[in-house]
Amino acid sequence: MTTNAAAVPTVKLLIDGEFVESSTNEWKDIINPATQEVLARVPFATADEVDAAVASAQKAFQTWRKTSIGGRARIFLKYQQLIRENMKELAALLTAEQGKTLADAEGDVFRGLEVVEHASAIGNLQLGEMANNVAAGVDTYTLQQPLGVCAGITPFNFPAMIPLWMFPMAIATGNTFVLKPSEQDPMVTMRLVELALEAGIPAGVLNVVHGGKDVVNGICDHKDIKAVSFVGSTPVGTHVYNRSTQAGKRAQCMMGAKNHAIVMPDANKEQTLNALAGSAFGAAGQRCMALSVVVLVGESAEWIPELVAKAETLKVNAGHEAGTDVGPLISRAALERVNGFVETGVKEGATLHLDGRNPKVPGYEDGNFIGPTLFSGVTADMTIYKEEMFGPVLCVMTADSMDDAINVINANPNGNGTAVFTRSGAAARHFQEEIDVGQVGINVPIPVPVPLFSFTGSRGSKLGDLGPYGKQVVQFYTQTKTITARWFDENEVGATVNTTITLK
């Protein structure tokens, strides 16, 4: 944390349609994780600034909620066009502050873009229901109406995708929004916000504040915020959910994970090895959907040397360099944490086949780099199994049968994602029926659904009933109003007094 003014840009707040300098005394440097260059300084907003952002959103809600569905949809049609036109710029900005490869950064933006496209179809999504003649001359119908001011708290690992999961759907359904991006890499988020205003989002409908725990608590506690969406670590997510729901808000929290893949002996070996390496080590393992554990069943346990060889082919370098497969971790603290887990794994008896610590990256000696790292002989009582390491570290376990492997996965407290690799339809169907995990891949290593469906993590990986995009999020951001109506003809004779509530 730094409080000294620096000759670098400052990240602004967005309040009532204006990008404004914070009056705070608390700032954080945004660091390029490959070079340690200070890119900008982000403010930790004051309580008054959070209040001002919420007040702006509350005022804007009075008119925005009455904006036609077509008017809202056209803004997001324009917005998706602007994102496409600026894709390269957005990816470069994301890579500089977060460390991802340029290809992965474009993927980050693109998966958010898919949700923006979905938001532009809001006219087909926000439909009520109607039943004609539920009683004589009586109709009943429902309206899906916006809640009011909603808020989102987003993580560092997907600074484009996850903000785009949140505010487009909230705003498209008629709400206004206060966004709190990660303080570690908010620059690409702010560029997306600029494009959103250019697309036509009115002043006050979208607001942005920055900060840490105090700002998060201010959002959770604020009496005028009706719903909070969160993606991030389990401890923070649990705190956000408990604090928000105690304050009477709706909350959805997508949290930590320990994602497993089962490999059956009949799996296509080359395709499976490629999938495991990409999903375990891509994005430097900094995905909540990364495969961090693979359970090799039966004879597939013999594949460990080939899996190690595949991991050794991946190139560690700065994200913007051509041919990079694994970029740096987000921060020095993250690097120290992951290195510590590797040391603990060795001490606890796991076999370290591939040690990615302290790789040589010419020209980027100060970067937060750790290469692909692979353990075998991992057991469920080891720290490297129990903790979410959030780095390019893969734990290999073995099992005698698919059911034994399923039991391992179902005993884990998390339920974000899982996968099975097999050529057997019967085995795949048995897996999908018996596994207790929200998102299941069959020969797909990272089974994140497209926005036509909903993100459905489960158990310890999710708090709240509804997912952050797709059909479920329309329910999350709206409240159902049920109307029962009866109309009389001008000359109709009134009925007798009826003291019951039954309609006939």
Q: Are 237 and 254 in contact (CB under 8 A)?
A: yes
Q: And the tokens for 169? A: 């759907």
Q: Are 394 and 276 in contact (CB under 8 A)?
A: yes
Q: Could you write out the three-class secondary structure of 319-349?
A: CCCCCCCECCCCCHHHHHHHHHHHHHHHHCC
Write the Ramachandran bin of 298: left for phi over 0, alpha for psi from -120 to 50, otherwise beta.
Answer: left
Strand 351-354 to 373-376 pairing: antiparallel
Q: And the tokens for 44? A: 């930790």
Which candidate in 220, 253, 288, 395 is catalytic?
288
Alpha helix stretches (DSSP H) within 200-256: 213-221, 234-246
Nearest to 378 by CA among 440, 312, 304, 267: 304
Helix (H) or strand (E) holding 202: none
Instruction: Indicate the SS3 state at residue 466.
Output: coil
CA angle 125, 128, 131 (to 5 degrees): 140
Q: Tell me how far apart the alpha carbons of residues 238 and 344 are, in angstroms, rounded to a whole number.
A: 26
Q: Tell me how far apart the alpha carbons of residues 424 and 264 are, in angstroms, rounded to a whole number.
A: 9
Q: Tell me how far apart the alpha carbons of residues 23 and 348 are, in angstroms, rounded to a whole number.
A: 49
Q: Are 193 and 187 in contact (CB under 8 A)?
A: no
Residue 309, number of CB atoms within 10 A of its CB:
12
Nearest to 328 by CA among 284, 358, 366: 284
Instruction: Indicate the SS3 state at residue 303.
Output: helix
**Letter for the amino acid at 413?**
P
Specify whether 288 is catalytic. yes
Nearest to 50 by CA among 15, 1, 2: 15
Task: Tokens 């060795």: give the residue.
Answer: 346
Q: And the tokens for 185? A: 């890499």
Active site residues: 288
